[in-house]
Chains A and B, each alone.
Chain A
């Protein structure tokens, strides 16, 4: 079970978090202009990265905030976190 550093709360057990898949999948601003293939790529397809992978997590049983985390899919080593659309918080732990 991973020990994940929530950027808002500090280190917490993985069981407090929910996984949100690959990060940086921006919703297209004008979906109607996309081809079916481009739209399908956004909706259905994700990279299956071996190694360092930027993904989204939410501290579901904690502060409820979403953030990004880089995790190595082979070793589970995980490192830098990032937040969405705001000022970096001051983590307490």
Chain B
């Protein structure tokens, strides 16, 4: 690549916003370049010429930079490499930093020689809807063809690549509140922010550019007979001096939501690249709640379509103005501008000042004389009534043809060649109404400006000002901005009076109305490559829109989906309006009648990292550890996650397999004594005179008869009659109970109680308080357990008479206040000792020193399953009633409670529902797969009749064989039958249906 020959010499134009004293080296596709501080990647590349730097999505045609900001459809790049890499960033929005490295996307093997260009030459067989017609149609084998070709098609399409390494960066989140949020810091936005700040409001002004100014950054406008950027500097100074105004540059609002909530992404470390200082986050996600919002988001210029309008060197007219004025870059030696409105004249004058010969084709028969005269005086060749018909050249503009254009876009008469290597096109302006659309604004067609503008959203606290309203003159932008800022501050309660500034602008004499031109058609240079593009990012042509109309995809929603118009990452910022206007032309409707699709957040793509913020890795979710966690970790515990809790799954000794550890732990509980950390069980303190009434209503069994000092097991159902939690509740005093819940449901159950207490039974005098974390719980179980707890320093009488099964005692253990429940989930005599959390480690150590074997959750699962005790969420799944589990003993017939009535509904009352049963595999060495489907006949032709599934399945050290629990259709009436459980891969295992209890069926061990 030769030097930056398209950077204007320093004295050509005022230098704009670049700093020639600060050169920055960077690389693109492996080649070295130099730009300046203040450049974007796009402007720095354009200084080397308008060469191809991308390949188009479908046809892989060479593409160059087309716009200057968020509207850019072509110049998508992959920024940097490795974990830092980001795909599909717009080169026009990447601020240049030293050492930047970027590459083209969607080109293989390279942007200069792209094999997929074959798609372009084969394009007659790739019309809109090609994939649907060929692969998705009803034709025989269409689906098979799709499967065959999909990998090829997926590779040929698509843009950048997702990074393959973890993101090394930090992202952060900021919450902010303000009276007035102003989006866009052009003349209207600055004016609005000043007005609101002057009223004393708390103001946040955000803008996605590197610095405020908006259109004024082009440097060719004047306010009060001075460069307009002087006014911008003064405005920023006044905002800086205001008591509570924040100006956020490099910050793009991504979405607007209910009640004026906005999300915005600020580039912080990002703009320094991978070498950013460590203390900076890469991006900062702002979550702004504003009382009022002013949208001064400006407008995007739209092109009109003509043959080969995608050739590198073809750009939006106003983008050329910005590159010239802001970055001192004109990527051509001779320019042709095509326009149907006044705005191209400023571009023409600026180029003329830079010494570039300009031809200006104005589609209007009579261009406004003041503008045309000024242009001609500056040496511009103004061609009235003419439009661009075609661009010549393939990888670079080599010339163009213009001709006289009829109102429908047809060219009449001979075409005239124009020498040019830079083509600018101005087809009018599309207000950037995306954010208003997020809040539900309906786009309204403004016939005079031929554009959609947002309707009035003042009632939602949302105002618009400037070009987003269709305003064209600088004076209107300033005036509307002031009014919107003032009114917004007033609506936010800021009533300080302000004086409207009186500013003189350089708008000049009144111009002439736009003559809307959507596409120039007719005599195109006979090349088969004379495509005229509507949507450059998704390769949608004028012909594609016509095809959609012919095939009756006329609704704007169908047009979008059939042609993919506007479905790219740019959401069709330059394409949508032309596309729907052309659809209108094809179908005899106005653009208003065709309508637009809805814009949804985000306005520009937001990296996932910004959304995730710090919520990743260790900070993704809180981790809860019990007071005894350190002991577990130091003694071989393998942890499992139960909700947010870390629970020991098993304790491995040196050289021991996990399976062996589980077997050893089970045998220790059955033959001696084990101790388990049960601190994670939910514990809810219930106090008040009406607790028993509450318990009677939320549990299925009876609580009137529970005496102080006793505990009872209960099942909770939802109103549909299905179990959702179980646990033991103990009565500590007349009006004081403590309820335990499953580990995972602790919060859910408390919320459930609160909902009923507050919304349905406010007359019940009950306080429900979570005390889960306040207590550490050690469960001691086994034939040796009594001997072990009796050895603890305690005032509790542990004898069977004084402390029988299902009793609760309070006292002291090791000098700490303790609550002890004699309950059993293992089937052995068992005591759950609760002490204040900080005393947990001491209690645990004392039990270990006394000879208890620590056991984990898996041993607990085996022990309880041998007894046929259920686990909510394992034996139940929200479709299971107590009767299904054979737990009718836990249901009271004498009272009403939540869920009871549902059991007499026909489906719940059926005798052949799925019942909890036990399964014994015929081969006692086979452990049936949990979740395995149960069938009567594994050889049955599909569809196979499913009878239920295995819920729990273990190898039992106590039973000398494997066993399982299962939910089986009509199971209680199948006792002794043989059923088959399908393996997860293939085959099935036979098993005999038995009662769901395998060990100590009369419960003598836990009582004794």
Q: Is A51 an interface residue (CB 8 A)?
A: no
What is the bound-complex CA distance between A28 and B259, given in angstroms? 37
Per-residue A-contact encoding for B741-767, CB less than 8 Å = 1, 0 else: 000000000010011001110110000
Contact of A66 among B257, B755, B906 (CB under 8 A): B755
Contact A3 B261 (CB under 8 A): yes
User: Within 8 Å CB of B259, what residues of A?
Assistant: 1-3, 76
B564 to chain A, nearest CB (A): 31
Interface membership of chain A positions 14-41, coded 1 if the CB is closer than 8 angstroms to chain B and 0 otherwise: 1000101000001110111010100110
- Shortest Cβ distance from A60 into chain B, in angstroms? 7
Distance (Å) between the CB of B688 and the closest chain A CB?
15
Q: How many residue pairs bridge A and B at CB < 8 Å?
A: 62
**Interchain CA distance A33-B295 in the complex, whole Å:** 59
Q: Is the CB of A56 within 8 A of B759?
A: yes
Q: How far is the CB of B175 from chain A (nearest CB, A)?
A: 9
Asked whether A84 and B754 contact (CB < 8 A) given A1-B258, A40-B905, the answer is no
Contact B905 A31, beta carbon cutoff 8 Å: no
Q: Is the CB of A43 within 8 A of B762?
A: no
Question: What is the CA–CA distance of A40 and B257 in the complex, to the nearest angstrom?
Answer: 36
Residues of A within 8 A of B261 (CB): 1, 3, 13
The answer, yes or no, to whether A52 is at the interface (CB within 8 Å) is no
Interfacial residues of chain B within 887-911, with CB under 8 A of chain A in the complex:
896, 900-902, 904-906
B289 within 8 A of A: yes
Distance in angstroms between the alpha carbons of A17 and B71 in the assembled complex: 38
Does B758 contact A31, Cβ atoms closer than 8 Å?
Answer: no
Q: Does B719 contact A (CB under 8 A)?
A: yes
- Nearest-neighbour CB distance to chain B for A88, whole angstroms, equals 14
In the complex, the answer to whether B762 meets A32 with C-beta atoms within 8 Å is no
> B640 on the interface (CB 8 Å rule)?
no
Which B244-276 residues have C-beta < 8 A from chain A?
257-261
- Give chain B nearest CB distance to A31 CB in angstroms: 4
Complex interface bits, A49-70 against B, C-beta within 8 A gives 1, otherwise 0: 0000000101010001110000
The residue from B257, B260, B758, B904 contacting A85, defined by CB atoms under 8 A apart? B758
Q: With a CB–CB cut-off of 8 A, which chain B residues contact A42?
A: 719
Q: Which residue of B lies closest to A85 (CB)?
A: B762
B419 within 8 A of A: no
B937 CB-CB contact with A under 8 Å: no
Asked if A2 contacts B258 (CB within 8 A), the reply is: yes
Tell yes or no: B720 within 8 A of A by CB.
yes
Q: A3-B289, A36-B906, A66-B755 are in contact. Are A43 and B257 (CB under 8 A)?
A: no
What is the CA–CA distance of A85 and B761 in the complex, to the nearest angstrom? 8
B762 / chain A contacts, CB cutoff of 8 Å? 84-86
In the bound complex, CA of A26 to CA of B720 (Å): 15
Which residues of chain B have C-beta atoms less than 8 A from A60's C-beta? 751
A2 to B720, CA, bound (A): 31
With A1-B259, A31-B896, A32-B896: A84-B901 Cβ-Cβ less than 8 Å: no
| Chain A residues within 8 Å of chain B by Cβ, number | 31
Contact with A along B692-731 (1 / 0, CB 8 A): 0000000000000000000000000001100000000000
Q: Which residues of chain B have C-beta atoms less than 8 A from A86's C-beta?
A: 762
Within the complex, the shortest CB–CB distance from B764 to chain A, in Å, comes to: 10
Q: Which chain B positions have C-beta within 8 A of A31?
A: 896, 900-901
State the CA gap A26–B261 with chains docked (Å): 35
List the A residue with the shortest CB-CB distance to B896.
A31
Nearest opposing residue in chain B for A14, CB measure: B258
| Residues on B with beta carbons closer than 8 Å to the beta carbon of A65 | 758
CA distance A44 to B760 in the complex (A): 17
Say yes or no: A85 contacts B763, CB within 8 Å. Answer: yes
Chain A residues positioned under 8 Å from B763 (CB to CB):
85
Identify which of residues 906-946 in chain B touch chain A, using a CB-to-CB cut-off of 8 Å: 906
Let me know if B289 and A36 touch, CB within 8 A: no
CB distance from B70 to the nearest CB of A (A): 24
Nearest residue in A to B721 (C-beta to C-beta)? A43
Tell me, in angstroms, the Cα distance from A66 to B754 when the chains sit together.
9
> Closest residue to A37 on the B side, CB-wise?
B905
Q: How far is the CB of B748 from chain A (nearest CB, A)?
A: 11
Closest residue to B260 on the A side, CB-wise? Answer: A3
Q: Are A36 and B758 CB-contacts (below 8 A) given A3-B261, A3-B289?
A: no
Q: Is there an interface contact between B905 and A36, defined as CB atoms closer than 8 Å?
A: yes
Nearest CB in chain A: distance from B385 CB, A: 48
Q: Could you say which residues of chain B place their CB within 8 Å of the CB of A18?
A: 751
CB distance from A54 to the nearest CB of B (A): 13
B153 CB → nearest A CB, Å: 39
Query: Known contacts A2-B259, A84-B762: does B754 contact A64 (CB below 8 Å)?
Result: yes
- Which of B257, B759, B896 contacts A84, CB < 8 Å? B759
Which residue of B is nearest A20, CB measured?
Answer: B755
Point out the residues of chain B lying under 8 angstroms from A76, CB to CB.
258-259
In the complex, A19 Cα to B491 Cα: how many Å? 30
Within 8 A of A (CB), among B731-788: 751, 754-755, 758-760, 762-763
Q: In the complex the two chains form, what is the Cα distance from A42 to B899 in whole Å?
A: 12
Excluding A27-B719, A56-B759, A66-B754, 17 further A-B contacts by CB distance (< 8 Å) are A1-B257, A1-B261, A13-B261, A14-B258, A18-B751, A36-B904, A39-B901, A40-B905, A58-B751, A58-B754, A58-B755, A66-B755, A76-B258, A84-B758, A85-B758, A85-B762, A86-B762
11 A-B contacts, Cβ less than 8 Å apart?
A: A2-B259, A3-B260, A3-B261, A13-B289, A20-B755, A31-B901, A36-B906, A58-B751, A66-B759, A85-B758, A85-B762
Interface residues of A (CB under 8 A from B): 1-3, 13-14, 18, 20, 26-28, 30-32, 34, 36, 39-40, 42-44, 56, 58, 60, 64-66, 75-76, 84-86
